[in-house]
Each structure stands twice: as C-alpha cells, then as structure tokens.
Structure 1
Amino acid sequence: MRIIVQKVSQASVDVVPESPQDEPFTPQSIGPGYMLLVGVADADGAEQVSWLARKIAHLRVFEDENGKMNRSLLDVGGEVLSISQFTLFADVRKGNRPGFTGAGKPDHAERIWHGFNEELASYGVVVREGRFGAHMQVSLTNDGPVTISYDTDVLMK
C-alpha cells in the first residue's frame, strides 16, 4: 500500500457525477486532521492494513504546548478524509503517459481500502471517505505544510 498523509486544518471531497443516473453522493468534510490518499496493490492485505492504520493513528505531527511535533491524531481528536488513489502506483519510467499496472484490481483495492478505513476508525478516529473509482474534487488546506508518504513495500521489509 502507498499512502500520502497530509496534515490539514480542513479538507473536503465531492463526487463529479458522470451521468444523471449516478448514485447521489453527500459531500464529506473534516476539520483538523489528515487527508489521506490511499493506493492499494494486489499483494496488499490484512498485514499492510493493520500496520498502516496503527502507524498513521499514532503519527506525531501535531504541535504540543512547546510547539514541537509531538502529538498524534488520537491526542488531538483529529479526523481523517480518506481518498482512494490508484495513481499512486503510476509508472512513469517510459514515455510521457503513466502506466497503472501496479495498482490493485478494483474489487480487491476497494475491499482493502474500506478495510483500512475501518481499521483506522477502530482507534476511535472519525474517518470520512470519498467514493471509490469516482471522479472526485478534493479540497484541502495543508497545515504546516506537513506531507508524509508511506510505502509498505519499502517500510515493512
């Protein structure tokens, strides 16, 4: 799995309907917390989900009373906006058009993404989601800025 964590003061997502028959989507928004871009590969499973949920819930990038990044999402009662993002697996080594063969098959990726969101919520975090596979418009105010990337292929070896 690959996840980009952005510490935000606010973030929101809406779905761009592609046809009038599309199922309605209620825009989602959060206050202070993390906006996550989440990419899933076919090899990802429960081990990656559990490891990442724990790491992100306990990531200490919020300031304490001394101005040091020493508090976690759990410490500050922050929220999460989770967006599925297969383009995190873009292969740009050849040509100018990225390839996405490293991204997980949609059924698998959607199941893992929802499982990750549920695991993160099990820590007591409010998790809001975009819509898997939809064209979305995401807005955020990056606080810091603080942006951190996780790649389980590299970090869990």
Structure 2
Amino acid sequence: MVGTGDIAPDFTLRGTDGQMLTQYTLSEYTDEGFVILSFYMNDFSPVCSDQMCDLDDIELFQFEEDVTMFGISPDYVYSHREYSRQKGITFPLLSDTQFEVSKEYGVYDPELESGVRRALFLLDSERRVQFRWVAEDNWEAWDHGTTEALKEALDGLRA
C-alpha cells in the first residue's frame, strides 16, 4: 500500500483523452509538476460520475500548467472514450484492467464487485505522495470536502 510520504510506483497504462488512445507513463508527467490520480470503480457509475465530474469542474486543477490529472479504473479504453465524451471529462482516463496499478497503490479490493476503491492521490515531482484519500464505502455520496482538502494540500506545497 502506498501511503503519504511514500514514493509512488511508476506505471504505464493505455488511456484516452476522449479522442486519441495512447500510452501514459506516470513519470513523464511528474517530471513536469504535480499529478493527481483519481481511482474510481467504473465508467457510468453514479457516485463515480459525481466524483469525476466534480474533479473536472473545478478549474483549479486542469487549468494550472504544473498539475496533471488522471482517472484510473478497470474499464477498457473504449468505454473510457465514450464516458469521457458523454460526461465532458477533460483529463485522460486510464485503463487498469488487470488491477496492477490498483494493487500497487493499495486500492484493489477483491471483496468489491468493481475490484477497486475510490481514491485520490497527489504526487509531487519526485512521485512522493503528498495527499491520499481512500473511500471506506464506494457507494457513499461524493464529499466535496475531499476536493477542498486536496486543493489545500496542493496550495501548501506551493507556499
């Protein structure tokens, strides 16, 4: 399990920005600044849609040049592409179909139907985890306070 202060494992996953399908390697983005990883159960899930749309709606992340955001779920890239198009998601969605990255980050849970817990990680340029949140209950309503805590952590790193 990856905790706050740990160096997050690097990975390469297939993903989509809603148009193109390509490979994304984490370290290529942490070299440029901060990275937010949002693990979610699956595309089109109501709670996950709230979480992903909320993260997409807050301008404080995607319009900052030194912050990259990725959504990660076990769904395939073609589902991600359709989900991204329908929901207007502006950040890349990555496919962890074999749960390899979910296991490394400690959010894989074989007891759950989806196999993964909703989670957020904030990584700095050295891939060190600066913020970690993991849902206790995947079906619990999305709490905007989590987004605020993530923003506070990011602001604190810049101070």
TM-score range, shorter chain: 0.3 to 0.5
Kindly name which structure, 1 or 2, has the bigger radius of gyration based on alpha carbons: 1
More strand by share: 1
More helix by share: 2
Q: Which structure is higher in RCO with an 8 Å CA cutoff and minimum separation 6?
A: 1
